[in-house]
Amino acid sequence: MSGAGRQLALFLGICSVAALGLQAEEHYPAGHGGGAQYVAAVYEHRSILSPDPLALTSRTRALELMNQNLDIYEQQVMIAAQKGVQIIVFPEDGIHGFNFTRTSIYPFLDFMPSPHLNKWNPCLEPQRFSDTEVLQRLSCMAINGQMFLVANLGTKEPCHSSDPGCPNDGRYQFNTNVVFSSNGTLVTRYRKHNLYFEAAFDTPLEVDHSTFDTPFAGRFGIFTCFDILFFEPAVSILRDPEVKHIVYPTAWMNQLPLLAAIQIQSSFAIAFGINFLAANIHHPSLGMTGSGIHSPLKSFWHHDLESPEGRLIIAQVAKNPPGLISTGDTTSKMDVSHSKFLKILAGDLHSEKDAQDIHCDGASKWNMSAPPTFNSEMMYDNFTLVPVWGKEGYLRVCANGLCCHLHYRRPSLSNELYSLGVFDGLHTVHGTYYVQACALVKCGGLGFDTCGQEITEATGMFAFYLWGNFSTSYVFPMLLTSGMALETPDQLGWENGHYFLRKSGLSSGLVTAALYGRVYERD
């Protein structure tokens, strides 16, 4: 597939998939991945934090704290090695912690030579560069575990006053991912581009498009946390058709109903037809949990805001991810549900643009008596919504140029309020980026003003189509059910300029079904 064609493989047509999501408990393989699979691990780490990250300390004291976290990493590597793991991913901020100033983090930083200019094995050549103790330990772990190892740390690189971007203190400080091969060689680094309120670090002057090749699964790409919401480098790196796997250290604070950690991770894997290996930090009091090994058809995940302990997730992963194969409009003509959807869609192309009621041939019998539209805050954005009433129906709600549609059936009604919401605009809280979103959500209570609140439990069951006339091809499908369980869509694709998601047979009550579009050029 060409780089251009790879932009979003699933968006080229209608894609039928088998839904399967698995909570990461005991899904350990018996041995090494063979043939068409490899064995991967991600570790959700409860890091030991500095008691006062704002205070100045010495390099010796900083290393004492970081070595406590590295001791835990080492234990997890050896456990993973016994399970035949070939690559392991650790989270962002897992070694040094967070909430530092530029000055207070300095003792925690390793010197980072360019792996592109210096072939270096820190474990075997520890004296080659000073202030590289953390890199040395990670390198030795990779050797002892005989696996590729991905970790995140703070790094420093000196710069000269002749460099127009050089900070006043004469050094760059970066939030950095590093990758070691199974023989301990530093094979690549990635310096985080989209910082999230990280005063201790600098943004690289140029975007790192970091990839690395493995003997067991081909080429991997790498980026960090907040990067996932932006074109650079998360989307642009996938222009390389050889990149079929992403490793993703993160320190993600969950925000429902649309941006829980496992939710965005899984949606990225589905949208791009890739494997996505995500390791989050574990600090439940800060809302930080959610790691997984995700493919387009299956996820092994961990989300736990109760347990204080970390979690190692191990799974067999397809070398060539079973992506959502583009088949065009080959849905069986005997598929009654899809036929009804197509009739409604065809009728809508000639309908009045009324957010409350639809007057279309072939669609009118699905209308409820015109439900009221209302506004409520969701994800800090002003969504326009309509309530989802009754056991079946067809609804539409519009904002700016985006219209979202829902055709649904419910086996029974529950004492819960659901709503269909739309947002088409610039998100400006905790980051600035343009969003087009269609979302079917369970509200926090029975009042309209509770729609958009963060909830994790639900009992309402649905079979439905959700679709919208998105102006972007970058649409991320999200399905979350009661107890923070992931679901996979039955179908996804484009029909007559509308992107749709189809789902029936939910395993538990629906929390969120969403199409989350990103219009990168309008950021």
CB proximity list for 305: less than 8 A, separation 6 or greater: 284, 287, 289
The answer to whether the beta carbons of residues 478 and 438 sit under 8 Å apart is no
Q: Please list the residues that pair with 382 across neighbouring strands.
A: 377
d(CA 110, CA 410): 56
First to last CA, the chain: 29
φ/ψ (deg, to 5) at 491: -145, 150
Quick check: helix, strand or coil at residue 174?
strand
418-427 β-sheet, strand order: 374-378, 381-388, 418-427, 433-442, 510-518, 475-481, 485-486
What DSSP character marks residue 259? B
Instruction: Kindly list the catalytic residues.
Output: 92, 192, 225
The answer to whether the beta carbons of residues 501 and 427 sit under 8 Å apart is no
CB proximity list for 194: less than 8 A, separation 6 or greater: 226, 227, 229, 230, 232
φ/ψ (deg, to 5) at 7: -45, -55
φ/ψ (deg, to 5) at 268: -65, -40
Q: Please, what's the b/e burial string for 361-370 (b: 16 or more CB within 10 A of its CB; e: otherwise)? A: eebeebbbee
